[in-house]
Structures are given as C-alpha cells and as structure tokens.
Structure 1
C-alpha cells in the first residue's frame, strides 16, 4: 500500500468571518446592534468579527479620553461579544519595557485607530493561538498626506499560518474627486510593505480584505432618475455608472479585487434619524459609498457564485453582502459581508498545550502543567494568565504568573508553575488559562474551560508590581 501523503491528513476547516463597515458620523453606539452583528441569525456560527468604523468622534477631548480609556464603540463591541466567547486578538508591550513607557503609550494591536478611523478584530478564544498580529499601519492621506481625517489603517496578521491583511479606509468625497480617490487607493496600497516580516508587498499576502467609506459616486444620471431607480429597486443601470465599478473594468490591479453584487440600496446620503435620502438644500445624489472588497493571491477568473482560490487549500465563499437600513444614527447605512473561509491549516497545533486535567490547588496557589513544542522559543517575560470565561480582552486576567520566575519543575517537555489564586473568591465560574509569548507578541496556548473547586481562600495579598499590560 502506498504511503499516505502527510498533506492529505490535514483536515479542511471552515471558518466564518463577519465584516462590518460603517461611517458613524461622530455618533455614539445605538442601544442594540444585534442585526448588524447577526446575533439573532441561528444559521450562523461565526468565528471572527472584523469591524471598521469611519468618522468616529475625533475632537481633541474625545481623542484624549479614548487614549486614556476604551473608546465607546470598542467598549460596546466588547460588552456585546465577550459573553459569546469573542476576545480582541491583541499583543503586549514586553515586560522589560513597562517601566520605560507611560501607560498611555501601551498599545493594543487588535485594534488600530487614526483619528476617525477604527479597525477592530474579535475572534473566538479557541482561535487565538493561531492568530499572530505581525504589524499595524496608519496611512494618512488628508492635507497632503499629513492629516488622518482620510486614509487607511491596516492590521497584518498570520491566521493559521496564512498571511492576511485587513484595511479600513476613508477616501476623499465629492463627485469630481474620483481621480483623487483612485490615487489615494494606490497610495494606501503602496504604503503596506512589511520588510521586517519577509513579506515585502501586500500583494504577496494570501488574503486582503479592504473596506470602508470609499466615497465612489454614481456618474451621469440625475438625482430624479437615481431616486426613481432606487424606489423601483432597478439597480442595474446605476451599476453601470458606479465609479468603482467603472474603475475596476479599466484598472488591472483594482480588477483583482472582488466584490459582491450591489443588491441593496445606495448607503449614502440619508437624513439622520430617518430612511429618507438627503432632503437638505444640497440634496446629494445617493451612492454606494460604503464597500467591502477582497483579493486572494493567485486567484483564477471566477464569478460571485463560485469559490475563489488563492492557494490549493485556501478558499473563500461570500455568503452575504447587505446593508442595514435599521440604523439611522448616521447619514450612512452600515454594510456587512459574511464569508466562509475554507483552509487546510499550515499550523494545526498550538505552540503551548496547557493541561487543565493536571490542575490542583495547594493553599493559595494553583499548580499548572504545560508542554511546549520543540521549536518554541520561550522568553523570561512569557506569562500565564488566569481568566474567567467571558473575558472582554486579555487585560482581564484575575491572576497571572511569569513562567520563568515561578517555575517549579520540568521534565520530558512537561513544565509546572504555581499561580496565585488568593484573590479569587469562592465561585462556580469557569476559568481559562492563556499562555502569552513575549517573543511572538501573541497568545500561543489556551486551556479548556475548567472550574476551581470551592475551598477556603487566604486573605488577599499584593500583586507583583510588574504586571503584564496590553
């Protein structure tokens, strides 16, 4: 019998990704975003949320407040998604530099903000060991390239071993500025280089998700014709005059970016707190300004109804591309896409395996056993955090331990450390352990949920002053 090819033993995984783009026009979050996040769709089992906002409140007082504290939108999304096991995928400042950096300079790389632009990534916690944030970039294009009211923000990551870039952008407005929009599109693309990661060009990445308020307009047709076409849901004539669609027909690079069919009404410009298109004196012509595009490496020619391939085992299917008329806090309607990403993981096992079955308590300490792969390079600043299930982000640890400082034994690849649990009251809550790698700036191991057996806890004791910060 012929030997089995090791590649055939890898199982294909299907992961669902929900992408949101919304120009929120400086508004605060509405009370309910269930429709936007598809929380009531029982047919969806989402793994990742990618959320891009434009025109967040970027007044000086708001920016200072959001630097010191979580901005209202990020906080809102964390409150909604954390009970569903979603965590912001993020990185940390190295332990040795904590004393050198003020608190306001510590970065969260699961999110990146440039004035009014915000980009967030949430993933179910079991995926975190396979998500490595490699870099973030902000590319301002406003005021001759120095002002961040327009431009793009990017998160570049490894996802189960594949390179993925995610870009949220806000391009120049107005009908006459189409050439400028295309120029800014090219400029943002040119600035996404990552020499330090040995991936010199964004076009070498396996997947690029590009979305935002692109501000492309509908040419030629007058206001009355456009509004009547929308009223009668006759969009085909409008598609022919959509500036982005026209540019994609002529620009070889843009042509490589795909988009779902525009089967929803133009998403701009509405009177706030209504579903009526602009009734002001300007009476701006409706347009599909808010778009979600994607590009897969080495993709063949394909239609929207067929899968598109970037590599032998990396396949993307578009499940939905819709607007959400329910929300009226802005003059834009939000747009979402849901994708199924089918892949054979290039990384199929975590670098660290935490063993909850080996947990035992002794006085005020919890003994943790863990193993690591042969190619994992540990650091003196690696740490293990103890979390309650439902954490909002990685700063929400209830206790932690520096693995080198508190190591008690190791043999045959099995390591053991104690973690202080004296501050934890008796509870029936479930807990998780995260192993954070300082070298990789990411979570590389997560335990299964477990309970700490009720016991008599000691009085509270002080925490180590050098706490891990994100």
Structure 2
C-alpha cells in the first residue's frame, strides 16, 4: 500500500464560544447544554472554550488568583457534562485541563481526553482596548497533538472585538492588531509540560522564528472563535424596527422576517469575503438564528423549536456576533492528497443561558492527523505563506506596558467599585490611621 493510501486518523475537536456577561456561570445550566451541539454521543478528543467577559472587569484585568474561581466553574461544568454524556457515574474526570489563560476579560480553556498526546504548548495574547489593555483582546494557545506515529499542530485563538453597529472599521482594525500583535512564545524547554494548576505559566519552545510565531504559522491549523461583534447593520435600529423587522421563531424561510434574510447583511461574511478581515479563514454554513442581543427574561435552556418568541433587545439589531472560523488545509496538501479534508460536522447555537444576553455557539469538527509541511514554493495568497499583516516588532514591549496599565486599572477599580475591595481599602486606611496614631502616642511618651 502506498503511503498516500494509508487510512488517515482524525482528531475530533469541539469548540465553544460564549460571552459570559461578566458573571459566573450557573454550573448546572452550562453543563446541561455544553454537549448538545454534538452530532453524536461520542466525546471529542479536544474541547476548547473561548470565553469573553469571563469575570467582572477588575478581576479580569488583575487576573491570576482573582480568575481561578471563574475558570474552576467551567472546569466543574465540563466534568459534569462529560460524565453525563458518557453515562459514567464515577467521580473521576474524563477531561484533563491542558491550559487556562486570559488576556483581560477574554479567556481560553483547552481540555483533552488523552493528555499524554499533548506536546509543545505555547500561548500568546494581545489587548485591543484603551492603551492596548484587555477590556477587548485575544488570547491564543498553540500545541502539537501526537497519536502513535501521527501528529498535527493546532492553534486556537479566542477573541473579543469592538462592539456597536457602527464599529465595523474598528473591528477590522482589531483583527489586524491580532495578527500583528498576538505572538506565540515559550518560557521553558520541557516539551511534555502541561499547564497545571490552571493558573500555572509554563510552556515549551515551539515557534522558534518570528514567522512561526504568527497566528498564521505555515505548519499549523488555525481556529478563531469569539465574540467578533460583527453586526447586521451599520446603524442602530429605529424605534419600530423590533416590531416590523426582527426575526421570530417558526417563520417560514420564505417570509421576509425569517432570520436567514437578515444574514444577507452580516458584516463578517461581507468583510471576510472582501478580504478585509479574517483573511483565508473558512466558516461552516450559518443555519442558526442570531446569537445577540437577547433580553434576560427567559425562557432559558430551551431549543428554538420549543420557543414561540425570541425576546430581542430593542436597541440592537439581532446579529451573529459569536462565530467560529478555521483555516482549511493549504493547497500544497489538498491538491496532492484530496482525501485530506477538514470536516465541519455541526455548527450551531446553543439555547440561551440565564446569565448572558449572548447564546453560546459550537463547532464540531474533524481534523486529519497529518503533519502540514512547509511550502517549498510560492503558493500565491495563502496566508500561511503570505500573512495579511506582518508581526509588530514592538509586540513584546507593548504587551508588557499594557499589562502594567491593566494591573493599575484593575486594582483601582477593585478598591473603588467592588464591595470586598472597598472593605479592604477601608480596613487598610483604618489600620494606617491607627498605626500613625499609636506611633504619635509612643513618640510623645
């Protein structure tokens, strides 16, 4: 049998993106819906959670131990959901945490069924907010997956871009800044190191050149998931639009208010096809309703088939803000091995959860376990060879400077806007005053 005829093993990946609304998730509610986006009852090999607004802004900007409780709730929900799907009553985990990282309010979590298959973990981050802070931003994880004698490289990016209907140009600029500023790097040469506990920061050397450190690495797959915030209009709705134009369940696709008609003005689809954002990335067909913006009035945890009404916020056009895209196999593989294909099995939106005005979106995808070789020739406009933007040579200094601003802003907001921070500030102030008073008395004795 010739090498190209050897059956190709595949890696099953399940990606979820969810804007958490700056709130802790309801573990039971999230677990009950997590795997409903799968086409089968088989647990995927890798589970990726792209999370936006994962926690209140002060906690997110400070990071570290302030975020552990929020990440932990997702960890518990994953274990609970996986045991239920697998009909496993044992208390032991079916998924091992590989990485849990954040850039401000944007987080990413990677879970694996077989943690021994994971090699060469790297991370990168870029802030997109004021002073490059992470009130908007992107966080990435890159790893190699090995199964016996087969392997492949995978890059996952969680992103949160600029909001509002009129923010189209800013969203395109945010994407450019992700490509220019999200640079993967490592801090240790231990090629087997897995990030434990969730807050640990240790990962090996993989991207040894500036070109390889880009999100568009020639030998890696790329998946981008997040609240990309692209809308269905450049203008805010008129006062009567929510009555006359907003979609509702159970409408026939031929009716003018069916949600499929609204997708014709989807900004992301238009800008991507025009080459102004997410260059080279592919999206599975969008066959689900808009994922934003809902009123938090329920009913929750109900499928679209069970609903008679979607409760839209009147001041925002219903839009597909939450998206998952991927980079298909490069031409230098697909032309010689047409059987080597990425298969998007299911792309859907999950029911509304009780703590967010966004619906989660999931992508179930199958990726062949093959090495992507570097191209030996000029392959035209393939972004793996010719990225749309060059890496910013000042990326490291900018991220370091932004991290300082994040800590300053985070602690300032923590002490002035949160009850626990306010109590600590009062206690510290009272302690300082008492110490000064006691010192004065002692010096006067």
Partner of 2:104: 115
CA distance in 1, matches of 2:171, 2:354: 26
2:281 corresponds to 1:257? yes
Q: TM-score, normalised by structure 1?
A: 0.59
Deviation at 1:130, TM superposition (A): 2.8
CA distance in 1, matches of 2:262, 2:168: 16
CA distance in 1, matches of 2:165, 2:249: 19
2:102 corresponds to 1:153? no
Partner residue of 2:353 out of 322, 327, 334: 327
Deviates more, 1:208-217 or 1:40-49: 40-49
Question: Unaligned 5+ residue runs, structure 2?
Answer: 84-91, 186-206, 300-308, 373-445
Partner of 1:87: 96
Q: Secondary structure at the match of 1:20?
A: strand
Deviation at 1:185, TM superposition (A): 0.7
Aligned length: 312
Bigger RCO of structures 1 and 2 (CA < 8 A, at least 6 apart): 2
Q: Is the 8 A contact 1:309 1:316 kept in 2?
A: no
Deviations 1:226-269 (A, max 9, x none): 41476625234322211001102211663521112221110111
Partner of 2:17: 21
CA distance in 2, matches of 1:311, 1:164: 21
Deviates more, 1:186-195 or 1:59-68: 59-68
2:156 corresponds to 1:166? yes
Partner residue of 2:123 out of 136, 146, 161: 136
Deviates more, 1:26-35 or 1:45-54: 26-35
Question: Unaligned 5+ residue runs, structure 1?
Answer: 90-109, 301-307, 347-470
Deviation at 1:50, TM superposition (A): 0.7
Q: Secondary structure at the match of 2:33?
A: coil
CA distance in 2, matches of 1:39, 1:191: 32
CA distance in 2, matches of 1:292, 1:28: 23
CA distance in 2, matches of 1:212, 1:318: 17
Partner of 1:365: none
Deviation at 1:52, TM superposition (A): 0.9
Q: Is the 8 A contact 2:128 2:137 kept in 1?
A: yes
Deviation at 1:219, TM superposition (A): 1.8
Partner residue of 1:215 out of 229, 234, 257: 229
CA distance in 2, matches of 1:245, 1:189: 19
CA distance in 1, matches of 2:72, 2:43: 26
Deviation at 1:74, TM superposition (A): 3.5
Q: Secondary structure at the match of 1:174?
A: coil
The structure whose residues are more often helix, as a share, is 2
Deviates more, 1:199-208 or 1:67-76: 67-76
CA distance in 1, matches of 2:371, 2:272: 32
Q: Secondary structure at the match of 1:315?
A: coil
Partner residue of 1:53 out of 51, 54, 76: 51
Partner of 2:414: none
Deviation at 1:294, TM superposition (A): 0.5
Cα distance change on mapping 1:223 and 1:41 into 2, 3 Å: same
Deviation at 1:274, TM superposition (A): 1.7
Partner residue of 2:8 out of 6, 9, 12: 12
Cα distance change on mapping 1:51 and 1:201 into 2, 3 Å: same
Q: Is the 8 A contact 1:16 1:46 kept in 2?
A: yes
CA distance in 2, matches of 1:290, 1:52: 10
Root-mean-square deviation (CA), in Å?
3.2
The structure whose residues are more often strand, as a share, is 1
Q: Is the 8 A contact 1:142 1:150 kept in 2?
A: yes
Cα distance change on mapping 1:115 and 1:79 into 2, 3 Å: same
Matched ranges for 1:65-464 at <5 A: 65-66=65-66, 71-77=71-77, 79-80=79-80, 81=82, 83=92, 85-89=94-98, 110-125=99-114, 128-145=115-132, 147-160=133-146, 161-194=151-184, 196-198=207-209, 199-203=212-216, 204-219=218-233, 222-228=241-247, 232=251, 233=253, 234-251=258-275, 254-274=278-298, 283-299=315-331, 309=334, 312=337, 314-344=340-370
Cα distance change on mapping 1:189 and 1:286 into 2, 3 Å: same
Cα distance change on mapping 1:288 and 1:16 into 2, 3 Å: same
Q: TM-score, normalised by structure 2?
A: 0.62
